[in-house]
Amino acid sequence: MDGIKYAVFTDKSFRLLGKNQYTFHVESGSTKTEIKPWIEGFFGVKVKAMNSHRLTAKSRRIGSIVGHPIHRRMIITLQPGYSIPPLRKKRT
């Protein structure tokens, strides 16, 4: 679970759920071969395809230091018949 940060919930990611595709933010150095076995093992699904792209870097300033955090987003397509249960936040 070191490579995956969190699931992404945007308008596009909700549209992709209809195509059995799920979107996750991952560490910038993670590769498809590292993420695929983790997804299959943790969720108990079979991955058909994985697409990844780097998001545009927005500059962040902390004091006099300016940095550009780099994120990578992966779109994971599952084989037919498999799905990941919805990730819900527990209400208190």
Instruction: List the domain boundaries for the chain.
Output: 4-78
Residue 68's pLDDT is what? 74
Q: What is the pTM of this model?
A: 0.78
Model pLDDT for residues 37-57, shown as the tens digit of each residue: 988 988 899 999 999 988 877
Most confident segment among 1-5, 64-68, 77-81: 77-81
Residue 1's pLDDT is what? 57
Topology classification of domain 4-78: Alpha-Beta Plaits (3.30.70)
Q: Which residue has the tokens 């549209």?
A: 15
* Separation between Cα atoms, residue 55 and residue 71, nearest integer Å: 6
Dihedral pair phi/psi, residue 30, rounded to 5°: -75, 145
